Structure 1
């Protein structure tokens, strides 16, 4: 991989400073970042904070505090909030330039980090696998936008858009998270997990906006391989609020669960 979502500028006691590439740009607006690269960069910080080989992240919650600017320096910092032999709570924060040019919080994450133990005899993950990647097809989404997040993905669909049931896709990022670094399995997962809202959508993107404000992922098995499968469905209430609920897979089985809160609004001018 030669392209990336971010480039590391420097690091000090206050955190790591990055600049974003065009591949973070959202499909809603080129001025803001898509939630997936943001989530992956925060997950990177959670994993690296006082890392222990005998633990891993079990649940990651990402809150998007507002539009994350696609231009300007991004600072990410993390700390251990709760220490423990078996259970730790790690938090991370992303700062971006505000309207006055000064840094402001734009996203936060928290992660429960649990001590690992051999429980192979207790494995239970019955959700049926989506059909294989070989059965999926590309919708060639890259042709519909200028260079943005969509251009960083190999995205294969198993269901037609706006179908009545859950949507299903296989996705893999084709670029690095940070230039010159190899992505971890969880960084790769979070580089695409935010797409669940769009995969499960029942709304025409030409008529409606449906933006998630958060991302909650429970990982009961670390994914293996490059492809992440997503089966998701988004439901909508009568008052402009919806929710996405889904299951995440690698090519051998289910690995986790995902939920997102969704703000639903008519597309301006429609």
Structure 2
């Protein structure tokens, strides 16, 4: 089972596991769908591996049949740049879009360079940090096993975002939680992110994706930022960043 099921070229049906905490689908799930579809096409055209993704969440993506449209900006050579946009059935305006930068790996000899020593982790040593959705139904967190320890949130997808997608689609879901793992305060305001940017240094080894987060809020402007390092069990593999739009909960605030 996948979080999004294919129903023909550019046609997708989200399952209940794609839902977010409030209205619409989880941003990281939607970004994973769009990036994953590009990764599938990249494998066919030898565009290389996804180096970075910038996603914009334009409006809530409804739990409905989805239509995507891929637009190459630059294709071929060592670097390719590909856009993908999604519409929900019955809506004229797009819900979200991504721009993916892909590159063909090329080993380079750099005299005098040695990689830094990295700590290794076993996420199974940390307690589970599973959370229920505020609406009480299934949501994207149910598609992942999550654990937290030593300032890092660890995630392991139990279901593919889409069948056959690559590393970036798997990373985007955990990365989308960077602003919420250790937010300044919990259960007082909602803090959706209207955008998401991820850069990968290399593909993750193994199933676990770790987010070493930082979050900052500015109530005077109603905004904030989130981000942090992305890890696998062997070391740093990338970085994530996003803007945050602080807003009141759709319903009464939930206290611990």
- Short-chain TM bin: 0.7 to 0.9
Distance 1:54 1:27, change over 3 A: closer
| Counterpart residue number, 1:163 | none
Alpha-carbon separation, structure 2, partners of 1:143 and 1:109: 26
Instruction: Identify the structure with the greater strand proportion.
Output: 1
Distance 1:50 1:141, change over 3 A: closer
Distance 1:108 1:224, change over 3 A: same
Of 69, 74, 77, 1:82 maps to 74
Of 148, 152, 155, 1:168 maps to 152
Residue 27 of structure 1 deviates from its aligned partner by 1.2
Distance 1:33 1:127, change over 3 A: farther
> How many residues of Structure 1 are paired with residues of Structure 2 in the alignment?
248
Counterpart contact for 1:155–1:171, Cα < 8 Å? yes
| Counterpart residue number, 1:164 | none
Counterpart contact for 2:118–2:234, Cα < 8 Å? no
Of 138, 142, 148, 2:139 maps to 148
Residue 34 of structure 1 deviates from its aligned partner by 0.5
Alpha-carbon separation, structure 1, partners of 2:160 and 2:86: 19
After superposition, the CA RMSD in angstroms is 2.3
| Counterpart residue number, 1:60 | 53
- Is residue 115 from structure 1 mapped to residue 104 from structure 2 by the alignment? yes
Instruction: Spell out the pairing of 1:101-112 with structure 2 (5 A cutoff).
Output: 101-112=90-101
- Is residue 21 from structure 1 mapped to residue 15 from structure 2 by the alignment? yes
Look up the SS of the partner of 2:169 in the other structure: helix
Distance 1:33 1:50, change over 3 A: same
Distance 1:265 1:198, change over 3 A: same
Distance 1:154 1:53, change over 3 A: same
| Counterpart residue number, 1:136 | 126
Of 178, 185, 188, 2:170 maps to 188
Structure 2 residue ranges without an equivalent (≥5): none
